[in-house]
Structure 1
Amino acid sequence: MPSDLAKKKAAKKKEAAKARQARIKKTDELNGENDQPESQENETESNGVVRLTKQLDEFELKKLEARAVTGVLASHPNSTDVHIASLSLTFHGQELLTDTSLELNSGRRYGLIGLNGTGKSMLLSAIGHREIPIPEHIDIYHLTREMAPNDKTALQCVMEVDQERILLEKEAERLAAEDSECEKLMELYERLEELDADKAEARASRILHGLGFSAAMQQKQLKDFSGGWRMRVALARALFIKPFMLLLDEPTNHLDLDACVWLEEELASFKRILVLISHSQDFLNGVCTNIIHLHQKKLKYYTGNYDQYVKTREELEENQMKRFNWEQDQISHMKNYIARFGHGSAKLARQAQSKEKTLQKMVASGLTDRVVSDKTLSFYFPSCGKIPPPVIMVQNVSFKYSENQPHIYENLEFGIDLDTRVALVGPNGAGKSTLLKLLMGELLPTDGMIRKHSHVKIGRYHQHLTEQLELDLSPLDYMMKCYPEIKEKEEMRKIIGRYGLTGKQQVSPIRNLSDGQKCRVCFAWLAWQNPHMLFLDEPTNHLDIETIDALADAINDYEGGMMLVSHDFRLIQQVAEEIWVCEKKTITKWNGDILAYKEHLKSKIDKQAHDI
C-alpha cells in the first residue's frame, strides 16, 4: 500500500500537470493557435493545417511532460525584475541547466545564445509556460509558431489579441448605452486613453506594414496566406500587445531583409523585458543590451551587444587561463619541493611542511578551472571537379505561375559558372526562391530558355528540407539508406561527424534532435551529392552562430558555384562576391556590398515611416 506521503506527492503531481496543461491552453489561445475556420468551405481547405496544429499541440504537451524545472524566486514578488535562484532544467532526464540563476531586469533586451541542442528553446518554453516561478503580475508572450488559418483578416487578427482593450471598449459601449454609472465610465475612458485605444488600428496597420504587408494584404483573410506570412501575423500580434515579457525564438526566420531591418529597429525601442534567440550576429548587435550565454549548463551574463560579448568573453578567458597556468605552476613547484626535501634535514623538512600547508589552502579555497572552449565545428563540401563554362545560361526568360497572374520575371538574361558567388536580395514575393526553382528545373519558364551543361549537378538547400527527413530513423541509418554505396558504418559516422553530429546524436531517432541538428543532417545529405552548384535558400534558419561561421568557411573553400538567399547580413558579407536585387520583375546588380544595401533599406524604412 502506498504511504500517505506518496499519495500526497502523486496528487501534487497531478495538480501540477493539470495546471501546466491549463497554462498551455491559455498561451495557445493568446497566440491564436486554437482559432478554427468559420466557413464550411474553409473547413475543408484547412483540415490539414488544423490536424498539423493539433499534432504540434500534442507534441508540445509531450515535451512539457518530459521536462522538469526547479527554481526559487529570489526577487521581490511585486518587483518588475525577475531573479530566479537555483534554477535547474532537465528534459527526458538529461540535464540542460544545473543550479544556475535567471536574471531578467525591466528595460533590458537579452540575446540568449549557445550551441545547438544546449537547451535555449527549452528554457524559453519553460518561461513561457510559467514552469519557472515568475510573479503573475508579469504577463508573458511567447511566440511559438504561425497562426492557424481562419476567415479573419490579417489586421483583425492583430487587433483582437489585445483582449483588455476589447473588453474595456465593450463595457464602455454598454455603460454609455445605459447612461449610468458615470464615474465607472470615466474610469474606463481613462484606461482606454492610457492604452491609446483610438490609435490601435493605426498602430496594428503600421506593424503589419513594417513586416511587409501592403494595405491590400492587411485586408486578406488569414486562410489565404502561406505559413510564413501567418508567422508574420503572429509576430505582429506579439509586437502589438506589448507584453511585459516578450520571448522570441528566431524571429527573423521567414522574413526578408527589408522586414529584418524594420524589426531590428522596432525591437531596439522595446522598453520592458525582451528575451530573444537569434542566429544573426548583426541582429543581436542592433537589438540587445545584454547577452546570456548558455554554456556548460550555466547561464552567464554579459553587458552590451554581441560584439561586446565576444570582446569581454575573450578578455575574461584570457585572464582565466593566465590565472590557471600560474596556479598550476605554483602547485607543480610546491609538489616537487615537498617530494625532494620532505624527508631531508629538519630545516628543509619544515619548509616542505610549510609549502604543503600552503598547497592545501590553495586547493581548499578553490582553484581556477581551465577554460573549456566550445567544440569547433567544420562543414565540408567534397571536391566537385571542373566543368567548362557556360554551366547555366538564362536566355530571355519570363515566368508567371498562371495565365491569370502577373509575371514574376520578364526577359531575364544572365549566366552562372563554377566561380559564381551571388546573394539574391529583395522583398518577399519578388521571386528569389522562384528563380532558384527555375534554375533547378522544378519550374519551367513561361517564355525563353534555360540551358544547362549536360553534366552539371545542382544541390538545393531550402527551409522545408528537414520535413523530408525520416524521423524514426537515426542520422546514421538515414544516410546509409540514402547512400547505399557506402557500406561501412564507421565510414558514414566520419562523414556525419564532419557536420557536428557525434556520439549518441548519430544513433538517436531524428525526431529527438533539435531543429539545428536536423539541419546538419540535411547538410550532410546535400554535400554528399557532390554538386557543382549550391543553391542555398535560407540556410541559417535554426543554426547557431558557430555553425553558421563553419558553413561560411565551407562555402569559401567550396570549388563550385553558389547562389544564396538569406536574411543573415553577416553570412552574405562572408561569402557573397556580388549582390543581385530581385525587384520589379527583373534582376539588377547592386553596386556595393551588403552593408551598404542594409543602409539603403534603413533609409527607405525611415522615409516610409515619415510619410505614414
Structure 2
Amino acid sequence: MPSDAKKKREAKKKEAAKTRGQKKPVENGSEKEENGVNGVTENGENGNSGENGVASIESAFDELTLAAKHRSVTGVLASHPDSRDVHIHNLSILFHGAELLMESTLELNVGRRYGLIGLNGCGKSSLLAALAAREVPVPDHIDIFLLRREMPASDKTALECVMEVDEERHRLELEAEELAHNQDPAAHERLMDVYERLEDLDASKAQVKAAYILHGLGFTRTMQHTKVKDFSGGWRMRIALARALFIRPALMLLDEPTNHLDLNACVWLEEELKTYPRILVVISHSQDFLNGVCTNIIHFHEKKMKYYGGNFDSYIQTRFELEENQMKRYKWEQDQIAHMKNYIARFGHGSAKLARQAQSKEKTLKKMVDSGLTQKVSSDKTVSLYFPSCGKIPPPVIMVQHVSFRYAEDKKWIYKNLDFGVDLDTRVALVGPNGAGKSTLLKLITGELIPSDGLIRRHSHLRIGRYHQHLADQLDLDLSALEYMMKCYPEIKDREEMRKIVGRFGLTGAQQTCPIRNLSDGQRCRVTFAWLAWQCPHLLLLDEPTNHLDIETIDALAEAINDFEGGMILVSHDFRLISQVTEEIWVCEKETITKWEGDIFSYKQQLIKDTQKENAKLPH
C-alpha cells in the first residue's frame, strides 16, 4: 500500500495538472522543448543531500575550501533566476594568479550531457569546483552534486549510505508545497519535476533502486551490506558515484567518474548516463565513454570555452572542418593583404591613375583590418612522452609455471595452475571484472606477491617498471618537479639536462619549477611517468595509467608505448588506448586467464549484451 505522503503527492500532482495543464511552458531560451526533453529543476542548497552526500562530505570540501582560497572566480547570471538552465556570462577563473578562463561563457541546458575536455591544468576541475562551491551565481533552486572524492569511512553500510535521503526528500516536499501555489508556467514545470524526483526517492522502493545501482557498479549482495569503512578508497568512490546516481540532482558534476571502474562497470555506467534527464557535466579522458554519453562537448581552448554539438567523434569532425575553413580564409586574407601592400608600395607614388588605385586599395585594406581579420588556427600544445632505450635481453624474460595464488588459506583461489611466458615483444591487455585478479597478477610478476603454489622465473638482468595510481602518493608536494627528479636521480648533476628530461613528459616552463602541489592531477601523473621511465625498464606493467591524463597525453602515451623497445602488460578501462597499443586481450576470470579471440571493441559489445541481460533480471 502506498504511504500517506505518497497519496498526498499524487493528489496534488493531479490537481496541479488540472489547473495548469493547458498552459504552454516557458522555454527561457533553451533547446529542451524542441528536442522533446522534459524540463526539470530542483530546489536546495549545495550540500542539502543528507549528511553523506558527495557534495557535502567534509573531507572533499576541506580540500575544495583550501583550493578555493587560491581561486578567484567572477561571472554574471544571464539566464532567468527561475530557469532550469544555467547561463553564466563573463566567467573568469584564476588559480594561484594564473588565468584559466577569461571572459568566457558557460551555457548548460536541461536535458543535455556535456563532456568537458582540454589539456591537463587548463581549469576543467577548477570550473566544477567553482560551480559546486557556488562561487558563480547559480540559482538556489538548482541543487548541485559534485563527484570528486570518495565516500568518507563510516559504520554505515554501502546500501545505507546510498539510500539515506530523508533530508533531500523533506526538502523536496517543502518545495512542492511552495510551488503548488505558484501559477507561473515555469513553476509548474518545476513542480512536475519535483513530483518525479519524490517518486524516485520514495522510501518503499529506495532499497531496490539503490541495490540496482550498486550492483551495476560491481557490488555483490554481501558487499552492499558491508560497512563503508571496510572498503578501499576506490570502492568508496564507487559508493559516492552510486549516491549521485540515486539522488539524480539538477546539476550533476562528475570529475573522471570512470577512474576507479573496471570495463564492466564502465559499460554499465555509460548505459545508465546516456539517458540522464537533467544537466550532466562530465570530465573524462575516455573518448569511447564521451561518445556513448554526451550530447555536447565543451572544449577549453585559449582560456575560452568552445561549444560543439554531438558526441566526441562529432566534435573531432566539426572542429576539423571549422579549422580547415578558418585556415583557408586566413590564407586568402593574408594573400590579399600581401598583394595590396605590394601594390601600394610600388604604385603609391606613381602616376595619378595608379596613385588613385593604390589609395583605393589602401582603403580596402583598412576596412579589412578594422572589420577584424581571421585568426590563424592555433592547435592544442602537443604533448610528448618518451621511454628510453632499455637494451635487449634474451628470452625467456619471465616464465610463469603452474602458478596458483590466494591471499590466505581460508580465502578463495584467485588463480589456479597458470602457465605462460612474457618476452620483450609482449603487448597484452588484462581485462575482467574487479576482484578477478588483474592487479594481483602484476604484483605476482614483480615479486611483490609470492605464489601459493608454482614458480615464477625472471631473467636476472630484468628491470620492471610498474605504474599504478598510488605512485603519485610518493611525490613530495613541496618540491618542484625538477627538484624531485634531481633528488631521485642524483647522478644527473646538470639542471638543464634534467629540464630536458622532464620536458619530454609535457611539463615545461613554470610547471617544472612550481611546487608539485600546484600542479593538476594529470600534471602530477606526468612527473610520475618521468620518474618511472628514467629507470629504463625492460618491461612496463601499467595499471590504469590513463587516470587523470587528458586525451592528448593518452595519445602521446600510446605513441611512446608503440615506440618502446620492451614488453608491456596493460590494465586499463580505456578501450581506445587498449586498441592502440595491444596485440592480445587476456580475460582474467574464474581463477584462470583466457585469450580473447577478437579485438577490444568486440569484447565491449559482449559486455554490453551481458549487462543488458543482467539488468533485465534485476528489479529497478
Q: TM-score range by the shorter chain?
A: 0.7 to 0.9
The answer (yes or no) to whether the contact 1:34–1:148 under 8 Å persists in 2 is no
Equivalent of 2:472 in 431, 448, 466: 466
Determine if contact 2:54/2:243 at 8 Å carries over to the other structure: no
Deviation string for 1:500-550 (max 9, x for gaps)? Answer: 000111111111111000000111111110100000000000000000000
1:574 is paired with a residue whose SS is helix
Task: Give 1:482's aligned amino acid.
Answer: C
> 1:189–1:357: structure 2 CA closer, same or farther, 3 Å change rule?
closer
Per-residue deviation, residues 162-193 of structure 1 (Å, max 9, x unmatched): 633367899xxxxxxxxxxxxxxxxx999954
Does the alignment pair 1:165 with 2:165?
Answer: no
Residue of structure 2 in register with 1:147 after alignment: 151
- The answer to whether 1:31 aligns with 2:53 is yes
Alignment of 1:485-500 (within 5 A): 485-500=491-506
Matches within 5 A, 1:196-215: 196-215=202-221
Contact kept, 8 Å, 1:30 with 1:161, in 2: the verdict is no
Task: Say whether the 8 Å CA contact 2:541–2:569 is kept in structure 1.
Answer: yes
Amino acid at match of 1:65: K
What is residue 478 of structure 1 aligned with on the other side? 484
Taking structure 1 as the reference length, the TM-score comes to: 0.88
For residue 479 of structure 2, what is the amino acid of its counterpart? L
Q: Against the structure 1 CA distance between its residues 454 and 191, is the aligned structure 2 distance closer, same or farther, given a 3 Å change threshold?
A: closer
Q: Which amino acid aligns with 1:315?
A: E
Q: Does 1:610 align with 2:616?
A: yes
Aligned AA for 2:531? W
Distance 2:172 2:339 in 1: 75
Which letter maps to 2:103?
A: D
State how far apart, in whole Å, the 1-side matches of 2:546 and 2:302 are. 24
1 CA distance for matches of 2:68 and 2:448?
Answer: 40
- Give the corresponding residue for 2:132: 128
CA distance in 2, matches of 1:371, 1:420: 40
What secondary structure sits across from 1:524 in the alignment? Answer: helix
Give the conservation status (yes or no) of the 8 Å contact 1:160–1:166. no
Please give the secondary structure, in 2, of the residue aligned with 1:344.
coil
CA distance in 1, matches of 2:462, 2:73: 52
Task: Give how far 1:161 is off.
Answer: 3.7
Root-mean-square deviation (CA), in Å? 2.0
Counterpart Cα distance in 2 of 1:331 and 1:33: 55
1:358 — aligned with what? 364
The one-letter code matched in structure 1 to 2:554 is I
Residue 412 (structure 2) pairs with residue 406 (structure 1)? yes
SS at match of 2:261: coil
Q: 1:509 aligns with which of 504, 515, 521?
A: 515
Is 1:554 aligned with 2:560?
yes
Instruction: Give the match's secondary structure for 1:70.
Output: strand
2-structure distance, mates of 1:317, 1:189:
46
Aligned residues: 556
Change (3 A) 1:266 1:162: farther
Name the residue aligned to 1:416.
422
After TM superposition, give the deviation of residue 128 of structure 1 in Å.
Answer: 1.0
Identity of aligned residues (%): 71
Which deviates further from its counterpart, 158-167 or 323-332?
158-167
Whole-Å Cα distance in 2 between the matches of residues 219 and 379 of structure 1? 44
- Please point out which of 111, 118, 142 is paired with 1:107: 111
Contact 2:74–2:90 at 8 Å: present in 1 too?
Answer: yes
Out of 323, 341, 344, which is 1:338 matched to? 344
Shift of 1:29: 4.2
Contact 1:552–1:575 (CA<8 Å) still a contact in 2?
A: yes
Give 2:472's aligned amino acid.
T
Map of 1:87 onto structure 2: 91
Q: In 2, distance between residues paired with 1:32 and 1:373?
A: 36
Question: What letter is aligned with 1:304?
Answer: G
Distance 1:162 1:420, change over 3 A: farther
Instruction: Decide whether the 8 Å contact of 1:33 with 1:147 is kept in 2.
Output: no
Identify the range of structure 1 (526-535 vs 90-99) with the bigger mean alpha-carbon deviation.
90-99
For residues 268 and 550 of structure 1, the distance between their equivalents in structure 2, rounded to whole angstroms, comes to 29
Which moved further from structure 2: 473-482 or 419-428? 473-482
Per the alignment, do residues 150 and 169 of structure 1 end up closer, same or farther by CA in structure 2, a change over 3 Å counting?
farther
User: Residue in 1 aligned with 2:596?
Assistant: 590
User: 1: distance between equivalents of 2:571 and 2:370?
Assistant: 55
Q: Secondary structure at the match of 1:534?
A: strand
In the alignment, the residues of structure 2 paired with residue 27 and residue 510 of structure 1 have an alpha-carbon distance, to the nearest angstrom, of 34
Separation in 1, partners of 2:492, 2:165 = 53
Whole-angstrom CA distance in 2 between matches of 1:347 and 1:28: 82
Taking the aligned partners of 2:314 and 2:196, their CA distance within structure 1 comes to 43
The 1:546/1:568 distance shift into structure 2, 3 A limit, reads: same
Structure 1 partner of 2:16: none
CA deviations on 1:227-265 (whole Å, 9 max, x unpaired) are 110100000000000101100000001100000000000
Contact kept, 8 Å, 1:87 with 1:100, in 2: the verdict is yes
Instruction: Write out aligned runs for 1:262-273 (5 A).
Output: 262-273=268-279
Output one character per residue of 1:281-332: Cα deviation in whole Å (capped at 9) or x when no partner: 0000000000000100000000000000000000000000111111111111
Q: Provide closer, same or farther for how the CA distance between residues 304 and 479 of structure 1 changes in structure 2, counting only shifts above 3 A.
A: same
Q: State the partner residue of 1:430.
A: 436
Query: For the residues of structure 1 that align with 2:496 and 2:350, how far apart are their CA atoms?
Result: 56
Letter in 2 for 1:338: I
**What is the identity, as a one-letter code, of the residue corresponding to 2:159?**
L
State whether residues 419 and 561 of structure 1, in contact with CA within 8 Å, keep that contact through their aligned partners in structure 2: yes
1:232 to 223, 230, 238: 238
**How far off its partner does 1:395 sit?**
0.8
Return the match for 1:450 from 448, 456, 479: 456
Conserved? CA contact 2:113–2:281, under 8 Å: yes
Assess if the C-alpha contact under 8 Å between 2:55 and 2:147 holds in 1.
Answer: no
Q: Aligned partners of 1:511 and 1:476: how far apart in 2?
A: 13
Give the secondary structure class of the aligned counterpart of 2:469. Answer: coil
Name the counterpart of 1:156.
Answer: 160
Distance in 1, matches of 2:45 and 2:462, equals 53
Moved more, 196-205 or 468-477: 196-205
> What do residues 574-603 of structure 1 show as CA deviations (whole Å, max 9, x unaligned)?
111111111111111111111011011111
For residues 561 and 189 of structure 1, the distance between their equivalents in structure 2, rounded to whole angstroms, comes to 57
Cα displacement string for residues 354-397 of structure 1 (whole angstroms, at most 9, x for unaligned residues): 11111111111001000111111121111111111110001111
Does the 8 Å CA contact 2:54/2:149 hold for their aligned counterparts? no
| Aligned partner of 1:312 among 289, 314, 318 | 318
Match of 2:580 among 550, 574, 583: 574
Aligned partners of 1:128 and 1:25: how far apart in 2?
9
Deviation at 1:34, TM superposition (A): 7.4
4+ residue segments displaced more than 6 Å: 22-25, 166-170, 188-191
CA contact (8 A) 1:165 1:197 kept: no
Report how far residue 196 of structure 1 moved: 4.2
Matched residue SS, 2:327: helix
Aligned with 2:571 (options 565, 570, 576): 565
Indicate if the aligned counterparts of 2:546 and 2:572 stay in contact, CA closer than 8 A: yes
Q: Alignment partner of 1:123: what SS? A: helix
- Whether 1:248 aligns to 2:254 is yes
1:401 deviation in Å? 1.2
| Contact 1:107/1:271 (<8 A) preserved | yes
- 2:81 pairs, out of 77, 81, 88, with 77
Change (3 A) 1:378 1:99: same
